């Protein structure tokens, strides 16, 4: 998915996908044991406790009710810390200096409402079974959060913000709003910024996270293979999108990580085109930007293919330019490099060809449980996953070209996780020839 050229991240992607593998279809709030080990969630929470340096903090899941379309989704940081995706109104309270070690990290859940549960799913009472499944030694109901947070503030005189700050005129971030209320009632409480702590943790993927991302990528590859087999003049963009997404699910994906972009001709020059309603015509290029999600982790891949199966000389020239730009950017992606270095490497190739004005977005973005994942301050580190996706767009020629791969930063450089999806001109044409 093309990033916004400015540093602000796009916010239109969906939240973590849920399925029977994510928290139990019965809605019992159990943590995800099939992907991320429970011990890893506990280690993440312990890392936050350490990173707070004695200040108290809270991460909130968010409020809401199950929508008629789709599912309710939690805050990404809450999901990262708990694996829970069906507990509206929940929170994690961090109180690193509490005298009882079992109360330094507390899971907060809304009270059970038997009448609501008959509509939305039955929830477990607080007890050993719930604590064992979530890895929390202390679980409390939400009516206790004001007391617990105030008690922590009186003792520490320090409250830390863990949620990302809002820009005005949007409402302030949810934990800052709570901290302000506490500070009005407890004199001398300082409110501190720890909003980069969770992004710094989330940016570097664990082996378990990378395994889930590879499953999302494998499902994505299956969807692209299915789509390439049926693309031809006269096929509707929507039919291509349906085939693509059916391929994701057929290979074990939970669905789409974001709204699939399938744009032919002029539509391929629209970065976030989502209508997917036009007929693909002979002579057009078709831009497919899509990715599967697996257990809450996303893939994000773009390929540009000729509708009739072969690139024209003009299309080939533009495509090879973008391919060279992408190769330069991937080569620049290594530990210690800045994201701006990766962008500059791609941009230099396109600028040299005199087409800088046709490259209208950034070269990539972090990838993880968000499609446009958190981007902490500082250089690239081993274990990060980023996309590299240069492109050029010519509305006057009704032609767009974008190529995107998911790149793992390793200790020595970069590894392309999505290189099995046909990308070279020869491989794309060969894949389409087998239709």
Q: Determine whether domain 37-201 maps to CATH 2.40.110.10.
A: no
**90: pLDDT confidence band, cut at 50, 70 and 90?**
very high
Phi, psi of 310, deg, nearest 5: -135, 140
* Residue 254 pLDDT exceeds 80: yes
Q: What is the pLDDT of residue 347?
A: 98
Residue pLDDT, tens place only, 373-394:
998 989 999 999 999 999 999 9
**In CATH, what number does 206-433 get?**
3.90.230.10
Angle at which helix 425-433 crosses helix 313-332, to 10 degrees, equals 120
**Among 15-24, 31-40, 380-389, whose mean pLDDT is lowest?**
15-24
Q: pLDDT tens across 404-421, in order?
A: 999 999 999 999 999 999
What is the distance between the alpha carbons of residues 406 and 419, in angstroms, rounded to a whole number? Answer: 9
Predicted confidence band of residue 284 (pLDDT cuts 50, 70, 90): very high
Is the pLDDT reported for residue 7 higher than 80? no
pLDDT band for position 3 (cuts 50, 70, 90): confident
Could you tell me the two tokens for 55?
Answer: 């200040």
- Give the predicted TM-score (pTM) of the model: 0.92
Residue 32 has what pLDDT?
A: 46
Number of H helices, E strands in the chain: 13, 17
Residues contacting 299, CB < 8 A, separation 6+: 213, 216, 217, 219, 220, 257, 291, 292, 293, 367, 406, 418
The residue extents of the domains of the chain are 37-201, 206-433
Percent of the chain residues past pLDDT 90, beyond the cut: 87
| 33 — pLDDT class (breaks 50, 70, 90) | very low
Pick the range with the lowest mean pLDDT from 12-16, 104-108, 194-198: 12-16
Distance CA 16, CA 369 (A): 6
pLDDT of residue 17: 45
Residue 68 binned pLDDT confidence (cut-offs 50, 70, 90): confident
pLDDT, position 4: 57
37-201 matches 206-433 in fold = no
Q: Is the pLDDT of residue 21 over 70?
A: no
pLDDT of 435 strictly over 60: yes
Taking alpha carbons only, the member of 83, 93, 85 closest to residue 121 is 85
Consecutive H or E run containing 207:
helix 207-230
State residue 31's pLDDT score.
Answer: 41
| pLDDT at residue 2, as a whole number | 86
Distance, in Å, from the CA atom of 55 to the CA atom of 162, rounded to the nearest integer, reads 11
What does the pLDDT average to over 184-207?
Answer: 97
pLDDT band at 34 (very low <50, low <70, confident <90, very high): low
């Amino acid at each position: 998915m093309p990033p916004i050229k400015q540093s602000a991240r796009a916010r239109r992607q969906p939240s973590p996908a849920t399925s029977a593998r994510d928290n139990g279809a019965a809605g019992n709030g159990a943590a995800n044991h099939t992907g991320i080990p429970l011990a890893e969630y506990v280690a993440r929470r312990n890392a936050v406790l350490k990173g707070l340096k004695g200040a108290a903090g809270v991460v909130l899941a968010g409020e809401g009710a199950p929508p008629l379309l789709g599912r309710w989704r939690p805050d990404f940081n809450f999901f990262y810390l708990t694996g829970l995706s069906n507990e509206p109104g929940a929170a994690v309270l961090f109180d690193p200096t509490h005298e009882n070690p079992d109360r330094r990290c507390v899971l907060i859940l809304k009270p059970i409402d038997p009448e609501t549960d008959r509509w939305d799913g039955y929830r477990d009472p607080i007890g050993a079974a719930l604590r064992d499944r979530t890895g929390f030694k202390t679980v409390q109901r939400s009516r206790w959060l004001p007391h617990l947070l105030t008690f922590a503030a009186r003792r520490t005189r320090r409250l830390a913000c863990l949620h990302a700050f809002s820009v005005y005129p949007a409402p302030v971030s949810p934990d800052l709003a709570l901290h302000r209320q506490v500070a009005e009632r407890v004199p001398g409480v300082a409110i501190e910024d720890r909003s980069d702590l969770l992004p710094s943790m989330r940016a570097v993927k664990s082996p378990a996270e990378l395994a889930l991302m590879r499953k999302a990528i494998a499902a994505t590859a299956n969807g692209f293979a299915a789509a390439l087999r049926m693309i031809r003049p006269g096929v509707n963009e929507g039919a291509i999108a349906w085939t693509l997404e059916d391929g994701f699910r057929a290979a074990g994906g939970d669905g789409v990580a974001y709204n699939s972009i399938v744009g032919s001709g002029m539509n391929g020059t629209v970065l976030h085109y989502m209508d997917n309603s036009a007929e693909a015509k002979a002579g057009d290029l078709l831009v497919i930007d899509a990715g599967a999600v697996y257990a809450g982790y996303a893939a994000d891949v773009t390929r540009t293919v000729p509708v009739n199966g072969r690139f024209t000389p003009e299309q080939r020239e533009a495509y090879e330019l973008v391919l060279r730009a992408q190769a330069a950017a991937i080569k620049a992606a290594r530990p210690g490099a800045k994201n701006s270095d990766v962008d500059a490497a791609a941009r230099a190739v396109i600028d040299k060809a005199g087409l800088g004005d046709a490259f209208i977005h950034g070269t990539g973005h972090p990838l993880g449980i968000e499609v446009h994942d958190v981007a902490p301050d500082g250089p690239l580190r081993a274990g990060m996953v980023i996309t590299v996706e240069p492109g050029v767009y010519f509305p006057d020629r009704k032609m767009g070209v974008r190529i995107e791969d998911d790149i793992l930063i390793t200790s020595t450089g970069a590894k392309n996780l999505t290189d099995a999806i046909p990308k070279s001109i020869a491989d794309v044409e060969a894949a389409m020839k087998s239709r």
